[in-house]
Amino acid sequence: MENSKSKIFLIGGLIFFLLYSCGTSKHTGVDNDLRFDLYSGLNKIGRGTDEKEITINLGQPDEVDKAWEQSDGEKYFNYYDKGIQISTKNGKVVTVFLYYKSSEFSPFSGKIDVANEKTTIDDIAKAFGLPSYTSVSTVSEYGEFPGSKETYMSYDSLGVSFSFYDEKLGNIRFYKEVK
């Protein structure tokens, strides 16, 4: 009798160990390894990518903001914990936003070849040269960081822009078509 209980306990423990070590959650096929570069975008998502590819590559968003869908066909796929927002218009990606400083989004922590949370305005200028467009302004009382100095640098030929708030990287916007 004692030997039987020991075997049942041992088999039960072994089953528990196997289930625990192998994982019991279903595999979604979603690539949780976030990668961004100027040629293939965010996990191959960039301007012109079909909206369906967003959830295939990144999983379900925390929110899909449809406030502008009726008036101009725009939606925003918000991944707050990943630091990602993707705007779409009429079913196609327009812009990929990677956040580093935000009151709503966690900092983007994926692999990236162009910048990171410590990147400075000078780093961007040294890496990419003179921007196509640049502006320096004070964020209004309605902005995310009222009173902050915003420096915006756009590189249209690369399809990327950078926003800095008080000299700290705030976000990267990617609007280049990927193939």
Bridge partners of 93? 88
The residue-averaged pLDDT of 85-98 equals 96
In a domain? residue 179: no
Domain range for residue 128? 3-174
CA separation for the pair 149, 144 (Å, rounded): 12
Residue 6 pLDDT > 60: no
* Interacting residues of 87 by C-beta distance below 8 A, sequence separation 6+: 74, 75, 76, 77, 93, 94, 95, 97
In a domain? residue 71: yes
Where do we find the tokens 């990144």?
58
Bridge partners of 150? 137, 165
* Higher per-residue confidence, 43 vs 73: 43
In a domain? residue 59: yes
Q: Residues 51, 80, 172, 32: is their CA dihedral positive or negative?
A: negative
* Interacting residues of 103 by C-beta distance below 8 A, sequence separation 6+: 144, 145
- Looking at the 3D structure of the chain, how many domains does it have? 1
Dihedral of the alpha carbons of 43, 48, 50, 55, in degrees to the nearest 10: 30
Q: Which pLDDT does position 116 carry in this prediction?
A: 84
In a domain? residue 75: yes
Summarised one tens digit per residue, pLDDT across range 92-145 is 999 999 999 999 999 998 999 888 889 999 999 999 999 999 999 999 999 899
* Interacting residues of 171 by C-beta distance below 8 A, sequence separation 6+: 97, 98, 99, 100, 101, 102, 162, 163
In a domain? residue 91: yes
In a domain? residue 129: yes
DSSP 8-state code for residue 87: E
Q: Which pLDDT does position 3 carry in this prediction?
A: 56
The residue-averaged pLDDT of 146-172 equals 96
Range 34-53 burial, b when 16+ CB lie within 10 A, else e: bebebeebbbebbbebebee
The residue-averaged pLDDT of 162-171 equals 96
Q: Which pLDDT does position 109 carry in this prediction?
A: 86
CA 166 from chain centre, in angstroms, equals 22
In a domain? residue 37: yes
In a domain? residue 43: yes
The residue-averaged pLDDT of 58-65 equals 95
Summarised one tens digit per residue, pLDDT across range 16-61 is 333 333 333 333 344 468 999 988 899 999 999 999 999 999 999 9
Cα angle 116, 118, 124; round to 5: 70
